[in-house]
């Protein structure tokens, strides 16, 4: 059921948000509570998933079985369908093949035909088609390091930045549909300060700090890059349900759930972003991905929450 939007754009249309992700499950582990918040406010949210996650490892011990390994591509599609329903989004596959995470010293070459090696223009055009069809006001993706240096995350960053500019550019990819210029581009930010706050909250309760080891290995911090904090604590439970839907990737007893929900809501109630491109004026810091985009009240204003 479509939710009556709280706000419409200047043309009287629903606000639209596009997340670009590398693999199925990334939409649930990065920005999912933000997604659920905006969906509840009547924003139309699409997720473009670059690959099928075919080379992903089984990260939940309960799912580490031969039958799962043999059917991993189909199972991950089913997991994505379940998460999509929970989040209330529309999801589109770009159709590229998972590169896998190369390991070893020296690192082995990427497998032929994978997303990390696909011609950049081919990948950008595939995303431009989605942008021009959906016409998002806002796009989110990963930073220049991919959030972490997985080749698919890095390539996802590259095509997202390129598509943000090309979608509205006359003469760029003329077969990809009518021009559309998104107004804002954000990177997901996951800062050290967040995990320090969560650990401190657990210690204050007389419990162990679950992220101490992770913090001891943290080599770079992005806290000073955060421009936008979206308060979405009320939707953390929805995020968690979407995460658990990706059963091959998410261990319900693992680090994702090391901090109780209420503690997380109190200690760090936001999901955080860096605004990297904007065609509208806005004042930093922000608390809304649509800040600065001209809007008008929608039919949902004043409706019971």
Q: Transcribe 111-173 into DSSP letters.
A: PTT-GGGS-HHHHHHHHHHHHHHH--SEEEE--TT-SS--HHHHHHHHHHHHHHHHTTSTTSS
Tokens 């009556």, residue located: 4
User: 133 vs 3, 121, 128, 212, CA distance in Å?
Assistant: 21, 18, 8, 44
Task: Count the domains in the chain.
Answer: 1
pLDDT in tens, 132-163: 999 999 999 999 999 988 999 999 999 999 99
Residue 304 pLDDT: 40
Q: List the domain range (segments joined by +) for residue 163.
A: 7-191+222-297
Domain assignment present for residue 283? The answer is yes
Domain assignment present for residue 71? The answer is yes
Q: Is the pLDDT of residue 238 over 70?
A: yes
Domain assignment present for residue 207? The answer is no
Average pLDDT, the chain: 95
Q: Residue 103 belongs to a domain with what CATH number?
A: 3.40.50.10320
Put simply, whether the predicted model's pTM sits higher than 0.85 gets the answer yes
pLDDT in tens, 84-93: 999 999 999 9
Domain assignment present for residue 272? The answer is yes
pLDDT band at 220 (very low <50, low <70, confident <90, very high): confident
Domain assignment present for residue 209? The answer is no
Stretch (H or E) spanning 28? helix 26-29
pLDDT band at 57 (very low <50, low <70, confident <90, very high): confident
Q: Is the pLDDT of residue 17 over 70?
A: yes
Q: Is the pLDDT of residue 1 over 90?
A: no
* 150 annotated ligand-binding residue: no
Domain assignment present for residue 226? The answer is yes
* 26 annotated ligand-binding residue: yes
Q: Is the pLDDT of residue 282 over 70?
A: yes
* 153 annotated ligand-binding residue: yes
Give which of 196, 271, 201, 206 is closest to 235, Cα–Cα: 271
Domain assignment present for residue 197? The answer is no
Across residues 274-286, what is the average pLDDT?
Answer: 98
Across residues 47-64, what is the average pLDDT?
Answer: 93
CB 115 within 8 A of CB 147: no
DSSP bridge pairs for 228: 273, 286
pLDDT band at 301 (very low <50, low <70, confident <90, very high): confident
Domain assignment present for residue 68? The answer is yes
Across residues 230-251, what is the average pLDDT?
Answer: 97
């Amino acid at each position: 059921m479509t939710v009556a939007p709280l706000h419409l754009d200047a043309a009287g249309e629903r606000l639209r948000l596009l997340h670009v992700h590398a693999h199925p499950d990334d939409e649930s582990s990065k920005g999912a509570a933000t997604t659920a918040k905006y969906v509840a406010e009547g924003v139309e949210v699409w997720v473009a998933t670059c690959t099928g996650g075919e080379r992903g490892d089984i990260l939940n011990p309960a799912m580490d079985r031969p039958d799962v390994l043999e059917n991993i591509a189909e199972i991950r599609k089913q997991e994505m369908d379940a998460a999509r329903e929970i989040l209330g989004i529309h999801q589109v596959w770009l159709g590229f093949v998972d590169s896998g995470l190369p390991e070893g010293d020296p690192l082995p070459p990427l497998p032929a035909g994978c997303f990390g090696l696909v011609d950049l223009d081919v990948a950008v055009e595939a995303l431009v088609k989605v942008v021009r069809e959906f016409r998002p006001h806002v796009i989110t993706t990963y930073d220049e390091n991919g959030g972490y240096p997985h080749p698919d995350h890095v390539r996802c960053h590259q095509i997202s930045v390129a598509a943000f500019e090309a979608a509205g550019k006359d003469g760029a990819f003329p077969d990809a549909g009518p021009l559309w210029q998104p107004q804002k581009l954000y990177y997901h930010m996951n800062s050290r300060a967040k995990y320090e706050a969560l650990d401190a909250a657990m210690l204050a309760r007389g419990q162990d700090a679950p992220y101490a080891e992770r913090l001891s290995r943290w080599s770079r911090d992005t806290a000073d890059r955060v421009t936008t904090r979206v308060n979405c604590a009320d939707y953390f439970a929805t995020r968690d349900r979407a995460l658990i839907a990706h059963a091959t990737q998410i261990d319900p007893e693992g680090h994702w759930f090391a901090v109780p929900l209420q503690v997380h809501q109190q200690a760090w109630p936001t999901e955080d972003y860096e605004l990297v491109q904007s065609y509208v004026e806005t004042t930093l810091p922000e608390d809304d991905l649509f800040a600065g985009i001209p809007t008008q009240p929608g039919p949902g204003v004043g409706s019971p929450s």
